[in-house]
Structure 1
């Protein structure tokens, strides 16, 4: 069980089974609070730490009060991925599970010295350029300097592709000391990492399997309570695993025994301990996952790999302690993600099509109209047609930021048991 001797404190929302928590703890943070919806994951946190764990919907005031943690060193979390996943419908703010915008609003309440939020690569797509711009603009309004970065887990010792889109925000006096973590030079392979676990029951072909598995695997997919079980992901992922001599159609109860066939004949399945190691858990963590196999696999597969979280945590800690040489803020600046959104959001009234075309630096009206159609998926967009042509005005953001009358509340009340 982890001790609490670290000098910096963190609150983690949507903490899952502790992947990000382990990494942040290793980097020098102690958790003042971890909030998690899934009962199995919450139990895992209780079983392995002495931190305060709040179980329930992180946006429910009955579960915790963000104002109680004003001035915390770090607010961190991995809010739900389905609203942005390229494997889904990419509903963004229209998805009742979306908590990204809500999490950003808590910065105004908590005033942490730093914010760390991670999500899937889909959030980096053009579909969400206005969403990202709104996030950066809100943080700027709160007095923070923010930036996004796409990090690949394989660059930090995790033998998976597993790209994660990460947001870091800090107050200016700390941001000048922040640097994104540098990738490791040598990649870890599935075979080298798991060979000893494959051999633990006397399988004679573990060494030969390790040679066949000499590569980086695809992203582990944890699935949800609604879809997916204890297998390694969709068809494309299973095919990629098969090229590494791994049967991705399920998770085994134990490693291959002495009579198991050669991997070229029958590729082995991974076990829960193997999957956990692929996500970055090590024997030293001595981490026990609550629930049965499927519940354990979902916790692991949905986690933020501890080594990636540790790399980020160390850089955030260094910045908060003002270690190193300060640099110019543009290295952590709010780059312009969506000029159409920026033009509309800063305008006083309606904006003409001509001005929007100028903002986009393109002459095509069809291109602007296409961008406006995407924008309207996350924001209300008013349209006015007159003698001088068509003009537009940006309305309310459709996403959940804590509104008492938002549809998310009824959705959570109806589907609470199916959400993970």
Structure 2
């Protein structure tokens, strides 16, 4: 099945989608460092992207997608999320970085059988509710474009009227659903919440829902508090078994073992890697695994405990160098995650190389979709498209 990957970044979403059985016909990204990352790993055939076309590097607004019309099964991407980030200035539709109109344009020009777009959880804030509805209506009726000079609220009114009227049977329309997904519930060692939009062309008659969650915090607490299996597996001495008091109480309250798998922790993800601060020579043998100094803990930025799912890796002024992309050891000391450790938390393969400085590579990772989460959603979409 053929796909188009927009706003590709370092390739996390596209990689997971490719692993689910889609072959990209075009990959678009404006950032040169991200494009360098994709080009090198494509050449090395890492992560299943060896078959990708070379990325189209540049402004998506200058790219014409009409040559793909009728030949694309899936369009995916993460329109730049700064206008909606919980750490940003919340300018939303007034922000020139808002690329949702371009995502809608690509759907309109290619008429794919389905699309999957993702964004930060902040898009679901109450203050953005009207614009969120505007996005959903645009994705539902991508051919109902804004009129010249029309304000977005006026366009919203036209979309609402069209939605409640009897539409044309031959119009391009998509059945759209969205949900906030926590990556930890799908086998990612990180508590990372993203809002995911999925749409299927209405003429296909596909009934779809988001994939069931496979992992849970309750299962992890059962293994840590009730059975002790987690600690035994990692050979952690009793004196080093540190767990938050509230989580410990929650674990004690569990009456029976949950059926889901346990959340993966930071220790699960990076426990086999040498500590780049304490074992620099051993760490040097690992790709992108170098110590970065300067980490410090302060209110609101205390790092990720070793035996919990990691906190959300971040990019921008509130991530690097803001202080949250850190490991918090059992003794309370902190250090920044290396690029390789961060890649593990985002479920990138170990052979995947990130271009640029530490801060640049961490920016790429902070903006990425975990590969495992993308694969879980993409696999479910692929199954329904094959059956249609």
With structure 1 as the length reference, what TM-score do the two structures score?
0.62
Which range is displaced more, 20-29 or 102-111?
Answer: 102-111
CA shift, 1:173, in A, is 4.6
Which residue of 1 is the match for residue 137 of structure 2?
137
CA shift, 1:102, in A, is 2.5
1:31 pairs with one of 24, 27, 31: 24
Which residue of 1 is the match for residue 61 of structure 2?
59
Which residue of 2 is the match for residue 183 of structure 1?
213
2:180 pairs with one of 143, 150, 154: 150
Counterpart contact for 2:178–2:195, Cα < 8 Å: yes
Counterparts in 2 of 1:267 and 1:93: CA distance versus 1, 3 Å: closer
Report whether the alignment pairs 1:297 with 2:362: yes
CA shift, 1:268, in A, is 3.9
Structure 1, residues 339-378: CA drift from partner, whole Å, max 9, x if none? xxxxxxxxxxxxxxxxxxxxxxxxxxxxxxxxxxxxxxxx
Structure 1, residues 6-65: CA drift from partner, whole Å, max 9, x if none? xx11111100011011101111111111111110101111112242210011112xxx31
Counterpart contact for 2:14–2:76, Cα < 8 Å: no
Q: Which has the larger radius of gyration?
A: 1
Counterparts in 2 of 1:168 and 1:22: CA distance versus 1, 3 Å: same
Structure 1, residues 284-314: CA drift from partner, whole Å, max 9, x if none? xx21112222221111111011011001100
Report whether the alignment pairs 1:274 with 2:362: no
Counterpart contact for 1:69–1:110, Cα < 8 Å: yes
Which residue of 1 is the match for residue 73 of structure 2?
73
CA distance in 1 between counterparts of 2:61 and 2:379 reads 28
CA shift, 1:230, in A, is 4.3
CA distance in 2 between counterparts of 1:322 and 1:176 reads 9
CA shift, 1:84, in A, is 0.7
CA shift, 1:199, in A, is 5.4
CA distance in 1 between counterparts of 2:335 and 2:15 reads 29
Counterpart contact for 2:27–2:56, Cα < 8 Å: yes
- Match of 1:31, SS state, is strand
Structure 1, residues 133-162: CA drift from partner, whole Å, max 9, x if none? 222223333311001110001111112211
1:197 pairs with one of 273, 281, 285: 273
Counterpart contact for 1:23–1:313, Cα < 8 Å: yes
Mark the runs of 5 or more structure 1 residues left unpaired by the alignment: 1-7, 204-210, 246-262, 324-420
Counterpart contact for 1:175–1:319, Cα < 8 Å: no
1:398-413 equivalent positions in 2, closer than 5 A:
none
1:237-256 equivalent positions in 2, closer than 5 A:
237=324, 241=326, 244-245=328-329
With structure 2 as the length reference, what TM-score do the two structures score?
0.67
CA distance in 1 between counterparts of 2:275 and 2:133 reads 50
CA distance in 2 between counterparts of 1:229 and 1:100 reads 24
Counterparts in 2 of 1:265 and 1:213: CA distance versus 1, 3 Å: closer
CA distance in 1 between counterparts of 2:334 and 2:138 reads 50
CA shift, 1:200, in A, is 8.2
Counterpart contact for 2:30–2:58, Cα < 8 Å: yes
CA distance in 1 between counterparts of 2:376 and 2:27 reads 20
C-alpha RMSD of matched pairs (Å): 2.5
Mark the runs of 5 or more structure 2 residues left unpaired by the alignment: 43-50, 142-171, 216-261, 280-303
CA shift, 1:183, in A, is 1.2
CA distance in 1 between counterparts of 2:339 and 2:382 reads 32
Which residue of 2 is the match for residue 103 of structure 1?
103
